[in-house]
Amino acid sequence: MTFVVTEPCIKCKYTDCVGVCPVACFKEGANMLVIDPDECIDCGVCVDECPVTAIYPEEELPDKYKSYTELNAKLSQNWPTIDEPKDPLADAEEFKDVESKLEMLDENAG
Ligand code: SF4
Ligand code: F3S
């Protein structure tokens, strides 16, 4: 089992989640974070920290976000660890309620 970062994070990247993770398993891309499933200890404390409800336990993912399990596993291999919160992306407020943001995902490292 693991926890998974999903679409609402894209173009927002609030990073509140990073501040509470006890094992530093968040990885940073240019406009999204993901969770390394090999490092996550399933504590769940990050879930309530995310202002846009982007994080779910793997087995409770809404259907529309099921593909994010694989995406987190894949991208976490290429992105660097982030272990300190930072400012959200400049357009975060503008994009926090936007849906269907997957096409806006930048797969470059953050
Ligand atoms: Fe980190 Fe716990 Fe969230 Fe996993 S569930 S990413 S270990 S805070
Ligand atoms: Fe993303 Fe939410 Fe963390 S927007 S960076 S999962 S606090």
> How confident is the model over 35-64, as pLDDT tens digits?
999 999 999 999 999 999 999 999 999 999
CATH code assigned to 3-90: 3.30.70.20
Instruction: Give the residue ranges of the chain where pLDDT is below 50.
Output: none
Please state the domain extents for the chain: 3-90
Ligand 1 atom 3 nearest Cα: 46
Q: What is the mean pLDDT of the chain?
A: 98
Q: Model-level pTM? A: 0.98
pLDDT at 106: 98
Distance 44 CA to ligand 1 centre (A): 5
Q: Please return the burial class of 94, using the count of CB atoms within 10 Å of its CB with bins 0-12, 13-18 and 19+.
A: exposed
Distance 14 CA to ligand 2 centre (A): 5
Q: Residue 74's beta-bridge partner residues?
A: none
Ligand nearest to the CA of 29: 2
pLDDT at 102: 97
